[in-house]
Amino acid sequence: MTINDDTQTVELPGGVHWLETCFPMERRHHHISPYLLDGPDGSVLIEAGSMVHQDRLIERIEAHAGPDGIDAAILSHYDLPHVSNARAFRETWEFDLYTSFSGTSANPETLGMGPSTGCMHDETREICGRTFTFPWPPLVDAAHTMWVYDHDAKAMFTGDMGHYHEATDCRTVVDGAEEPVSVDAIRAYNEDALPFVKFLDPEKMRDAFAEIRSEYDIEIWAPVHGNPIVGKGSIEAYHERYAEAIEATRDAAWSGSD
């Protein structure tokens, strides 16, 4: 499924809207995309996105949620692609902020984001009438990262896992009808953005992905740095290709070592 009108959010099942934004790169494009969720008691934003896209994100959010904007925001960790617009959003709208509590960056006030509520790993909270749990991620680039699982849409929002996409696929949702994300697109992203991947054991990662699918009923895999994957079969296939990409990265990194 591809939505070509880039003034609109991309609608996913269960009241989830993908605020697709990406950067053109030399060979491929790179997503840094928040998600907007409709709740009975207001709108929830997952991640804040890049400052480069600040005006576009404000326009899209207000077009969908109205001039009062969001009622809550959840930030998985404190890297700039995830938090850089939080201050500007708070100058525009009033909303509650939920952040990762563990790790070394447990004080959003130091980043100018104002008061927040810290969320612990494996904790479950009701936010704007939707139910969220914050799992321990099986793959992270920072100790304080948390993923976000929305029980209502059965959606897993992932802060670190990702992949590149072709220029024609910026607003494509991978749902079985579309071409699957390739091993090469995953591997290229990992080698650029997550250099620690070469130290991972592919079999352990396969087991970790299977475990999180077993623990959580996941219908939407929603990476900040990649196209959303919809449907259990598509998600399982994506995880398998992710493990293959990790294996290829590891083999290439250590093929010349003793």
pTM over 0.85: yes
Q: Reading across the β-sheet that carries 42-46, which strands appear in turn?
A: 10-12, 16-18, 35-39, 42-46, 72-75, 96-100, 117-119
What are the angstrom distances between the C-alpha of 94 and each of 22, 73, 88, 118?
Answer: 26, 10, 11, 18
Total Cβ atoms within 10 A of residue 91: 8
Is 31 within the bounds of a domain?
A: yes
Residue numbers in the chain where pLDDT is lower than 50 = 1-4, 102-105, 258
Is 60 within the bounds of a domain?
A: yes
CA 191 remoteness from chain centre: 18
Q: Which value, in Å, is the radius of gyration of the alpha carbons in the chain? A: 17
Q: What is the CATH number of the domain that holds 187?
A: 3.60.15.10
Domain that holds residue 60: 10-253
Answer for the pair 190, 246: CB distance below 8 angstroms, yes or no. Answer: yes
Is 22 within the bounds of a domain?
A: yes
Residue with tokens 């809207």: 17
Q: Which pLDDT score is estimated for 99?
A: 86
Is 1 within the bounds of a domain?
A: no
Total domains present in the chain: 1
Is 241 within the bounds of a domain?
A: yes
φ, ψ of residue 80 in degrees (nearest 5): -60, -40
Residue ranges of E strands in 20-134: 22-24, 29-31, 35-39, 42-46, 72-75, 96-100, 117-119, 124-127, 130-133
Is 5 within the bounds of a domain?
A: no
Is 2 within the bounds of a domain?
A: no
Using CB atoms within 10 Å of the CB of residue 203, give its burial: 0 to 12 exposed, 13 to 18 middle, 19+ buried: exposed
Is 258 within the bounds of a domain?
A: no
> For the packed helices 202-215 and 232-254, what is the interaxial angle rounded to 10 degrees?
160
Total Cβ atoms within 10 A of residue 107: 13
Q: Which pLDDT score is estimated for 142?
A: 62
Q: Which pLDDT score is estimated for 113?
A: 67
